[in-house]
Amino acid sequence: MRFLEFIRSVIFSLYLFISIPAFGAFIILLPILFFRPSFKYEVARAWSQSVLLALKIICEIEYEIRGLENLPKKNCIILCKHSSTWETIALFSLFPKQTWVIKKEILLLPIFGQLILLFKPIPIDRSAGKKAVEKAIHYGKKRLKQGLFVVIFPEGTRTTYPAAGRYGLGGSILSLHSGSPIVPVAHDAGKYWPRNKILKKKGKIKITIGKPIHPKPNDDPEKIMGIVKTWIEGEIKNSSA
């Protein structure tokens, strides 16, 4: 059984790597041909759905969404658990026009890094400390004004399921400075698609969209992030029970 899972995982990985440049060409060309810059989001959504379908067919990994009714119609700040590669792909299918706060090293990835630039990401140097937060706030406010959802992984890097990393305050500070609500997102993808591992386990990923959090101007960023962390980690604990 484990050998079969390995073979399936390899086949899926091949599809994933091939799909990036294939769909990437459409992301670059179609908006130009049809004079619609926003077309790139539709292509990215189609790519995401194709990868999730391949994951279901090849590796027998499905997903179940809860709390879609909690997603505001207006753009906001998404604070998402980060324990797998899965969520970075799935978010394209779940949310409308979006961008992300990312570590600058991602832009160095062949092909993928260049494609990411088309979506106006906010690359930061995690070793820069306060300056990195200030940059995220400055450009985060700009992206929100442009009508984009801003996705932040508050742990900064992928954690091993079901462990919890340290939650940075960038998302809560951005919310206070911009007036945009926070929508927390929890999932257990790391259980089936572990970080830094090619082997995937069949099953059903549970992803839950929480109710929007509307901080008041004088709220404490640490308190806000504490609420976010408690909810996200609580949902993950409940899903594994």
Give a yes or no: residue 9 inside a domain. Answer: no
Q: Write the CATH number for 155.
A: 3.40.1130.10
Residue 178 vs residues 75, 87, 119, 137, 219: alpha-carbon distances, Å: 12, 25, 20, 9, 13
Give a yes or no: residue 225 inside a domain. Answer: yes
Q: Could you say which residues of the chain have pLDDT below 70?
A: 1, 30-37, 241
Q: How far is CA 145 from the centre of its chain?
A: 20
Contact 169, 64 (CB under 8 A): no
What is the domain extent for residue 141?
64-240
Give a yes or no: residue 3 inside a domain. Answer: no
pLDDT of residue 1: 64
Give a yes or no: residue 77 inside a domain. Answer: yes
Give a yes or no: residue 227 inside a domain. Answer: yes
Give a yes or no: residue 68 inside a domain. Answer: yes
The beta-strand segments (E) located in 104-224 are: 122-124, 149-152, 182-187, 203-209
Cβ-based burial of 35 (10 A; exposed 0-12, middle 13-18, buried ≥19)? exposed
pLDDT of residue 40: 86
pLDDT of residue 170: 94
CB atoms within 10 A of CB 240: 11
pLDDT of residue 86: 98
Name the nearest CA neighbour of 148 among 212, 225, 193, 92: 92
Give a yes or no: residue 82 inside a domain. Answer: yes
Separation CA 131–CA 9 (nearest Å): 39
Amino acid 240 reads S
Long-range contacts made by residues 121-126, C-beta under 8 angstroms, separation at least 24?
A: 122/150, 126/156
Question: Each residue of 57-116: pLDDT tens digit?
Answer: 999 999 999 999 998 889 999 999 999 999 999 999 998 899 999 999 999 888 888 888
Q: How many domains does the chain have?
A: 1
